[in-house]
Structure 1
Amino acid sequence: MRIENGIVVFGNPDRETIDQIRQVYERAERAVLCADSHVGYIMPIGGVAAYRDKVSVAGVGFDIACGCAAIRTDLKLGQIAPHLEALADEIAGTISFGVGRSNKSDDAPVNDPLFEDAAWEAVPGKGEREALREKARAQLGTVGSGNHYVDVFADEQDRVWVGVHFGSRGLGHTVASGFMALSQNRPWGSKGAEVEALLDLNSELGQAYWALMNLAGRYAYVGREWVARKVVQILGGRELELVHNHHNFAWKETHGGEEYVVVRKGATPAFPGQKGFVGGSMGDDAVILQGTPDPGPQTRALQEAALFSTVHGAGRVMSRRQALGKVDRKTGKILQPGQVTQGAMKKWLKQKGVTLRGGGLDESPHVYRRLPEVLEAQGKTVEVLHTLRPLIVVMAGANEFDPYKD
């Protein structure tokens, strides 16, 4: 860890990422870059910023409450190992990827109490409010595309875990877009300029955003837990432990005796003893970690400097365009070759023994850092409780349309 111009930096981010967090820090009280950081939209992924009585719409991001959930089951690897191909097919056929629930499952909790929450009143206009509520019902329990996934793992004791990664889908995207527009005195539903929007939480607009951001957080929790439990059911197991966190969200927290609004964009909360599930890539181990409990003075100082935050993944090292190359959509002609090939991705997965359904070259292990390295860069702020090796990875297909992927 080092301090660069007042910003706490873990790992070795590139200059563009540091420049981006520096611009965020100009408007914030404190700022942190976690070791998996890379350039994002206005605020870098892996960035943390603390404000006084303000919340950053772009900081929380368009995929409000994106996060990860992991369930430890009562199953052992030997019970499912002979059936991985069939189980992968059933998961892919049961869980919906993309925009709406289109697969075999139609029992998502669309009548959860969150749909009657008073926060919906913060959406301007009755017609817009009801349209958004129905969109949210239709998408509850869908995983989306991009880097979102459903995985089955085995830990160091061959215990079977299920892990999922996705957020609040179209609900969060609509809320973020709507308040980005409102902050520029444009109507809800219009496209505002791509600039920062810092909302005062003492204002009517800030309070409305805060209410809907938290509603999207509840929605994401319900969706992830339903999907994870559905997969446990497919495996024929029982849930023994649940680890669940947002990593695109804002919280009111006290640090150094002062209350801040802490925005984590692609960063996992890691207070002492708080558990988190952090993925690597489709072909790498994931981990269950926790903020180091009962830390000594040096570790406690590091945790405080990090605003009790850690990585949310391994972090990208190349963009989707770099991985995929450029293809003419009309003719299919390759205009610029990508840096990752199908052969290279399949070879990696075969060596790791991963059964994959869906997934594109832009999510190949080659486009990510290695998770042990970024965790090492976080120092003793966190400790790994379990290492999870992937058995089944299910993602959206390479050509799956989804306007809400992150």
Structure 2
Amino acid sequence: MRTHIFGQHDEKTLAQFYQVAQRAVRAALMADGHLGYVMPIGGVAAYRSQVSVVGVGFDIACGNAAIRTNLRLEKIEGRLEELADEIAATISFGLGRSNRANDAPTDHPLFEDEAWEAIPKAHREALREKARAQLGTVGGGNHYVDVFADEKERIWIGVHFGSRGLGHTIASGFMALAQNRSWGERVPESEALLDLKSPLGQAYWAAMGLAGRYAYAGREWVARKVVALLGAREEELVHNHHNFAWKEVHDGEELVVVRKGATPAFPGQKGFVGGSMGDDAVILQGSTLASAQPLQKAALFSTVHGAGRVMSRRQALGKRRGSGVNPEAMRSWLKRKGVVLRGGDLDEAPQVYRRLSDVLKAQGPTIEVLHVLRPLVVVMAGAGEFDPYKD
């Protein structure tokens, strides 16, 4: 067992990481790590011909997409409030929402993908129709649509969400099957390592891949919809999952690498990483310096997926004694930063996150920051909106 830890973490997160690492060939914890279900958020674990259902997580293929447009800040800075309202009115946010846009990609080829055969027949069509209705919806929690300006005042659109009810149902279903229970039966979260040579492992791998293609299609549709709302043109797309498993070669051996809240960052591979509703985001890439390779290998060529929480949702909302974010403090932060917010709640306030610059620094020379993105507009699900499909 080989492990590497970036940054500082609390005892519970470290204990969870070491438990996972005991069953992996190699493991790493990114600097934005915090407690998760069985495997910590920010954790990376590599296995030989096995995949961890709970490691990939319930929000299969959650990830980030960013589009650089041809617009400059001067073209939109006078209508940020109007743009925020238009995004909120056009894109669907919140629990289990069906897409309100009449041009959502409900006829996407992925709905005829042979991977649907991996879903038990009795549940297949209902899940397909749920997925069709939710494609291009954003959900709640920390999922968002943002408008940014970079260091050259170029406008970027950024989105963060995953495979919605499709991924959640797949994860829950295979977790039940792995415990010899029925699909749809609620079971405790536990680590189920599925052998990829077994029928169950092969079925999960196919279904996970389907959820990945679904998430990519949804994020790109939403991001491009907002580009169109701005009357802009797409010039660059940066897109990554951060809850997924890949077959990769490390030190000459093929391994299954599970990243839970961690961004792939091979040399030259670009990624979009957000901070919080009141913090800068970045476009980065895996370092191209030969001197960084040893540390990159230790990270399993991974990096952070965000800033990392320092306060739970219950704490942020004041549901634990002596806790809670002050609403005025959140509003003051956003005003200083110049952010136009629609939706959001105290559990997503900037105060509940680390600073992204700090966690990036803790990743050392493994990554290179290409662009710093300043948030102008942030649109999220409204206060108190519960979403079981968030990561």
**TM-score, scaled to structure 1:** 0.95
Cα distance in 2, alignment partners of residues 221 and 338 from structure 1 = 37
After TM superposition, list the pairs within 5 Å mapping 1:4-19 onto structure 2.
Answer: 6-19=2-15
Could you tell me which residue of structure 2 aligns to residue 291 of structure 1? Answer: 286
Cα distance in 1, alignment partners of residues 52 and 119 from structure 2 = 18
How far 1:155 moved relative to its partner? 0.2
Distance 1:79 1:168, change over 3 A: same
Code of the residue aligned with 2:143 in structure 1: it is H
Could you tell me which residue of structure 2 aligns to residue 178 of structure 1? Answer: 173
Code of the residue aligned with 2:315 in structure 1: it is Q
Could you tell me which residue of structure 1 aligns to residue 77 of structure 2? Answer: 81
1:101·1:141 contact (CA, 8 Å) conserved in 2?
no
Could you tell me which residue of structure 2 aligns to residue 403 of structure 1? Answer: 388
2:96·2:165 contact (CA, 8 Å) conserved in 1?
no
After TM superposition, list the pairs within 5 Å mapping 1:119-268 onto structure 2.
Answer: 119-125=115-121, 127-268=122-263
For residues 24-75 of structure 1, give each alpha carbon's deviation from its aligned partner in whole angstroms, at most 9, with x where no partner exists: 0111100000010011000000000000000000000000000000000000
For residues 225-258 of structure 1, give each alpha carbon's deviation from its aligned partner in whole angstroms, at most 9, with x where no partner exists: 0000000011110000000000000000000000
2:256 is paired with a residue whose SS is strand
Could you tell me which residue of structure 2 aligns to residue 273 of structure 1? Answer: 268
2:61·2:215 contact (CA, 8 Å) conserved in 1?
yes
Cα distance in 2, alignment partners of residues 309 and 103 from structure 1 = 33
Cα distance in 1, alignment partners of residues 327 and 137 from structure 2 = 26
Cα distance in 1, alignment partners of residues 69 and 109 from structure 2 = 27
How far 1:93 moved relative to its partner? 0.4
After TM superposition, list the pairs within 5 Å mapping 1:40-79 onto structure 2.
Answer: 40-79=36-75
1:76·1:159 contact (CA, 8 Å) conserved in 2?
yes
Code of the residue aligned with 1:317 in structure 2: it is V
Count of paired positions: 391
Distance 1:80 1:104, change over 3 A: farther
How far 1:322 moved relative to its partner? 0.7
2:163·2:212 contact (CA, 8 Å) conserved in 1?
yes
Could you tell me which residue of structure 1 aligns to residue 313 of structure 2? Answer: 320
How far 1:15 moved relative to its partner? 1.5
Given candidates 305, 308, 315, the residue that maps to 2:298 is 305
How far 1:100 moved relative to its partner? 4.5
2:259 is paired with a residue whose SS is strand
Is 1:391 matched with 2:352? no
Could you tell me which residue of structure 1 aligns to residue 337 of structure 2? Answer: 352
For residues 259-301 of structure 1, give each alpha carbon's deviation from its aligned partner in whole angstroms, at most 9, with x where no partner exists: 10000000000000000000000000000000012x22x3111
Cα distance in 2, alignment partners of residues 350 and 375 from structure 1 = 25
Code of the residue aligned with 2:105 in structure 1: it is P
Cα distance in 2, alignment partners of residues 63 and 75 from structure 1 = 32
Is 1:38 matched with 2:31? no
2:76 is paired with a residue whose SS is helix
Code of the residue aligned with 2:351 in structure 1: it is H
Code of the residue aligned with 1:143 in structure 2: it is V
Given candidates 339, 346, 360, the residue that maps to 1:361 is 346
Code of the residue aligned with 2:93 in structure 1: it is F
Cα distance in 2, alignment partners of residues 106 and 45 from structure 1 = 35
CA RMSD, 1 decimal: 1.2
Cα distance in 2, alignment partners of residues 185 and 49 from structure 1 = 24
2:2·2:25 contact (CA, 8 Å) conserved in 1?
no
Cα distance in 2, alignment partners of residues 108 and 133 from structure 1 = 15
How far 1:102 moved relative to its partner? 5.3
1:74·1:240 contact (CA, 8 Å) conserved in 2?
yes
Unaligned runs of 5+ in 1: 327-334
How far 1:103 moved relative to its partner? 6.6
How far 1:104 moved relative to its partner? 4.7
2:96·2:387 contact (CA, 8 Å) conserved in 1?
no
How far 1:403 moved relative to its partner? 2.2
1:55 is paired with a residue whose SS is strand
1:20·1:43 contact (CA, 8 Å) conserved in 2?
yes
Identity over the aligned pairs, expressed in percent?
74
Return structure 1 stretches of 4+ with deviation > 6 angstroms. none
Cα distance in 2, alignment partners of residues 101 and 199 from structure 1 = 32
2:99·2:135 contact (CA, 8 Å) conserved in 1?
no
Cα distance in 1, alignment partners of residues 327 and 387 from structure 2 = 22
Could you tell me which residue of structure 2 aligns to residue 26 of structure 1? Answer: 22
Worse-superposed segment, 191-200 or 308-317: 191-200
Cα distance in 1, alignment partners of residues 196 and 34 from structure 2 = 28
Code of the residue aligned with 2:341 in structure 1: it is L
Code of the residue aligned with 2:314 in structure 1: it is R
**TM-score, scaled to structure 2:** 0.98
